Chains A and B, each alone.
Chain A
């Protein structure tokens, strides 16, 4: 037999067989390498370290463009604001040791003595004024939209300054909790992916592409040193994977979990659930762009429809008890909110009223974006059946995230009747939510910038008046009155407030879950 010797047409002279053997050896090495890992640790964070599993990728430790609940916890561990929203949604001082309204349109603020960044440089008044300018310069910023107007800074001395506004902004101390302060020279009108912060932790490694961050206690922190030395932040998008990881001890804390996952984790050894009432309201909001004469333009029809919805069943059976039916137009956890009424289930009354109003053969189209709230599809299917039970023919249209729902909401793509939507603000105050949803004016509606066409000039004026009232008691009274007025307009078919739920390993203590779905990482302790 003739032996065929082939040479590789390029590179060093190797026999065909030797190359094949090399390839087989390399394949074996690559395939078996993971098995060597079996002898190593299983990914558990180990003593002195805590591992957090986030449901969204933490793109940066800045909040100019990315502010979601779990991110806030990590962002604030590295960068801080003058204030923060603490327990009971009250503003607490952080980088400021004084934050006081000294005139209706001016607040006097003093920076805390010794407050400094992780590189040892002090936090300055210029850093604050620069931060405000940089936030204002971001296109499409969620944070700036919370401010009725951005304040300007007037320095008084090295540590003291005054924040000025054109009109009174009585919750400026709460709003400023969202402006993270960074050194002026490094700040810019976009996400800060690097740089130093004044928080209790510093970043030791970061990969924004994979959403993985390692934090270590800041040795130069101006406050009390955090109890946990190292924090590992991981992005685990799939909820079932996060649940498995917390069960196995690979992750210590996972947040923003759905009712289904909470049920799975309830009662498991080594795992605890922390739960508190939330500040987000999920609504089946009516389309207020209906022409005069359309049944849904009549608040009595909207009210009659709401009698068809069995909210108790939805909360108990679909949301597995992890939410409360709304009893106001904003969540009751928010400061300044009041009870305005309850959703009542009475299908007989719904049918009778609809008939009396000449709306017996009503058809409604419900639209929503997938993932807008937990168990969204199940809620919508149940609502469809409830409406059918009172003779209303409903159709559902679900949009994928990133799709065209905004165009639909603005009425630019097609007509709809009810929108499944969630609304939350990180200020902890009812006035921000109320203005966001119900402060629509005819001017804003010209560009379709109102909340689903909700335009009641009288309500908008009363909201503006209440929101600029500097006397807290008078403000709360005005807000209460306008909330009752809004309820009477029957803006929602139904609404509920989901609980904020977090799962943690039992070795993690003092998490102190806030209603804003975040917590102070520096206060967390580890046992064992």
Chain B
């Protein structure tokens, strides 16, 4: 187990490092000039030259990369050009908002999608499932910005019971959470249905049923127990994606998360901020994947981490 953990941690560090290095090169290859974005309107060439020198942008790519690596190992990700503050601090200011929204959305997704998927599986190919099918297909089809705007119009304007933007009260979490969760619920519930239909048709379920095991136990202990790993993997993957920022929802609801921050950083070619955001979100995503892998033995006792099947 320890060896497995060490190996996975090593892989995680390598993944984050490669991601950072790729982003480092790509943002510098993209069109645009941070000095122009940073300077005021109508800057002079001398202004731009001074800014480039101040931030080391006048050096070669390899030199910049060397400086970046040196600073990275000392925990210094540079100063954000647009915030004039340590880039990592700016990102860490935003991360709690992103984690709150992501946790809230994934929890709502799990709470609704798993029972809904099970319900659909038990009524597979019946008329009663049709209604649920229509709902989940609609959930998958509606763009999240449209859902967000509709929810805003109803609950913040027509019946003003919830805040329209920001996170000034806990109520401010409701509309963004629901907006993010609707698409996820549709996807996950259909996945649960598919896995459960297959599991419920398995010989071990038939045998269990013939032995008089209750329907409830058949569904939740036998079938769900065997369907849990793909469902958890899907939930974890969706959660990791949310941690990278749900940009559209953040913009619609004025949610101060990392998604809108990285959009701004890209617009202003704020290299240190882009790199700090990538570092934090990649680290979070890798950590979530690791936790999911570690959770597999909890869901299926046959799984032994670090050993071939």
Contacts and interface: CB of A to CB of B under 8 A. Distances in A.
Interface of A: 4, 6, 8-10, 16, 19-20, 26-31, 33-38, 40-43, 53, 57, 59-60, 65, 67, 139-143, 145, 190-191, 193, 207-212, 232, 234-238, 240-242, 244-245, 247-250, 400-407, 410, 423, 436, 444, 447-449, 451
Contacts of A40: 169-171
Nearest to B55: A139
Interface of B: 1, 31-33, 35-48, 50-51, 54, 82-85, 89-94, 97, 103-104, 106-108, 110-111, 149, 152-153, 156-157, 160-166, 168-174, 177, 251-254, 256, 260-261, 264, 266-269, 294, 297-299, 301, 305
Nearest to A62: B84
Contacts of A250: 156, 163-165, 168
A210 B93 contact: yes
Given A34-B177, A235-B256, A401-B267, A140 B43 contact: yes
Contacts of B267: 400-402
A242 B166 CA distance: 10
Nearest to B172: A43
Of the candidates B32, B54, B172, the one having the most CB atoms from chain A within 10 angstroms of its own CB is: B32
B203 to A, nearest CB: 16
Given A209-B94, A237-B260, 17 more contacts: A8-B297, A9-B297, A10-B1, A28-B111, A34-B104, A34-B173, A40-B171, A208-B83, A209-B90, A234-B168, A238-B252, A241-B253, A241-B254, A402-B267, A406-B36, A410-B45, A447-B45
26 contacts: A8-B297, A20-B299, A27-B106, A29-B107, A34-B173, A59-B83, A65-B84, A139-B51, A140-B35, A142-B40, A193-B85, A208-B83, A234-B168, A235-B254, A237-B251, A241-B251, A241-B252, A247-B157, A248-B156, A248-B157, A401-B37, A402-B36, A402-B268, A404-B32, A406-B43, A449-B44
B45 A448 contact: yes
B46 to A, nearest CB: 7
Nearest to B270: A402
Given A41-B169, A140-B38, A142-B41, A238 B108 contact: no
Contacts of A451: 42
Contacts of A35: 174
Contacts of A447: 44-46
Contacts of B252: 238, 240-241
Contacts of B305: 9
Given A241-B254, A250-B156, A447-B45, A140 B39 contact: yes
Given A43-B166, A59-B83, A244-B152, A27 B171 contact: no
Contacts, number: 223
B268 A209 contact: no
B173 A43 contact: no
Given A140-B51, A245-B164, A6 B40 contact: no
- 8 tightest A-B contacts by CB? A142-B40, A209-B93, A37-B170, A43-B163, A37-B171, A210-B256, A140-B39, A31-B107
A56 to B, nearest CB: 9
Nearest to A192: B84
A31 B181 CA distance: 10
B166 A236 contact: yes
A212 B168 CA distance: 10
A43 B54 CA distance: 42
Contacts of B157: 244, 247-248
Contacts of B163: 42-43, 245, 248, 250
Contacts of A37: 169-174
Contacts of B85: 59, 193, 208-209
A402 B54 CA distance: 19
Contacts of A29: 107
A211 B164 contact: no
Contacts of A448: 45
Nearest to B260: A237
Contacts of A145: 40, 42-44, 47
Contacts of A142: 39-41
Contacts of B161: 38, 42
A448 to B, nearest CB: 6
B171 A38 contact: yes
Given A34-B177, A241-B252, A4 B50 contact: no
A139 B254 contact: no
Nearest to B5: A10
Contacts of B39: 140, 142
Contacts of B45: 410, 447-449
B115 to A, nearest CB: 11
Contacts of A65: 38, 40, 84
A31 B185 CA distance: 13
A42 B35 CA distance: 41
Of the candidates A26, A140, A232, A405, the one having the most CB atoms from chain B within 10 angstroms of its own CB is: A140
Given A34-B177, A244-B152, A436-B42, A249 B84 contact: no
A57 B264 contact: yes
A139 B104 contact: no
A402 B166 CA distance: 26
Given A140-B43, A142-B40, A449-B44, A42 B93 contact: no
Given A33-B170, A43-B171, A244-B157, A8 B256 contact: no
A211 B165 CA distance: 13
A28 B156 CA distance: 25
Contacts of B90: 208-209
